[in-house]
C-alpha cells in the first residue's frame, strides 16, 4: 500500500520538483498540491493524506498554523515540515504545531523519500 502525500508549498517550481522526486517512487502516491496554507487545510480534509509536506512560510496561512489545523482535524496524519531554514525557533514551532519531522530544502533530494516513509511508519 502506498503512502498518500500532499505537498503544500507556495513556490511552484519547487513544488513541481518535489512532485517529480515523489513520482519516481512507487511507494508514494501524490494526492494534491497546495499553494498556500488555507488550500493545504482544505485539500488535507478532502484527500486524507498519510503525510503532508508543509512549507513553513506560505501566504494566507503559514505552514505552522496550517499544520495545527490539519492535525486538529485528523490526528493520524503526519506532517513533515519543509523549510530553507534550520533555525532552532522554526524547528521548535514546527514540533509544537504537531510536525512529525523537519527537512531543510537543501537536503530534500537526499532525504525526502526516507523521511516520508519514516513518519508514515512504513
Whole domain around residue 73: which residue ranges? 10-119
- Does the pTM surpass 0.85? The reply is yes
* CA 1/CA 36 separation, integer angstroms: 28
Q: Is residue 117 left, alpha or beta, with left meaning phi > 0 and alpha meaning psi from -120 to 50?
A: alpha
Is the model's pLDDT at 109 over the cut of 70? no
For the chain, what is the mean pLDDT? 87
pLDDT in tens, 47-89: 999 999 999 888 888 899 999 999 999 889 999 988 776 677 8
pLDDT digits (tens, 9 = 90+) for 3-22: 999 999 998 888 888 899 88
* 75 grid coordinates: 490526528
pLDDT at 40: 97
Q: What is the CATH number of the domain that holds 95?
A: 3.40.50.2300
Structural domains in the chain (count) = 1
Q: Are 113 and 28 in contact (CB under 8 A)?
A: yes
The reply to whether 2 falls in a domain is no
Taking CA 69 as the corner, what is the angle to CA 102 and CA 118, rounded to the nearest 5 degrees? 30
pLDDT at 110: 65
Is 105 a residue whose pLDDT tops 70?
yes
Residue 5: inside a domain:
no
Residue 29 lies in a domain: yes
Amino acid at each position: 500500500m502506498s503512502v498518500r502525500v500532499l505537498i503544500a508549498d507556495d513556490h511552484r517550481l519547487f513544488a513541481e520538483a518535489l512532485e517529480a522526486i515523489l513520482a519516481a517512487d512507487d511507494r508514494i502516491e501524490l494526492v494534491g498540491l497546495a499553494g498556500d496554507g488555507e488550500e493545504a487545510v482544505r485539500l488535507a480534509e478532502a484527500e486524507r493524506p498519510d503525510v503532508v509536506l508543509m512549507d513553513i512560510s506560505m501566504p494566507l496561512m503559514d505552514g505552522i498554523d496550517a499544520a495545527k489545523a490539519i492535525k486538529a482535524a485528523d490526528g493520524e496524519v503526519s506532517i513533515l515540515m519543509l523549510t530553507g531554514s534550520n533555525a532552532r525557533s522554526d524547528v521548535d514551532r514546527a514540533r509544537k504545531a504537531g510536525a512529525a519531522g523537519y527537512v531543510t530544502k537543501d537536503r530534500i533530494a537526499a532525504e525526502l523519500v526516507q523521511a516520508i516513509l519514516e513518519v508514515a511508519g512504513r
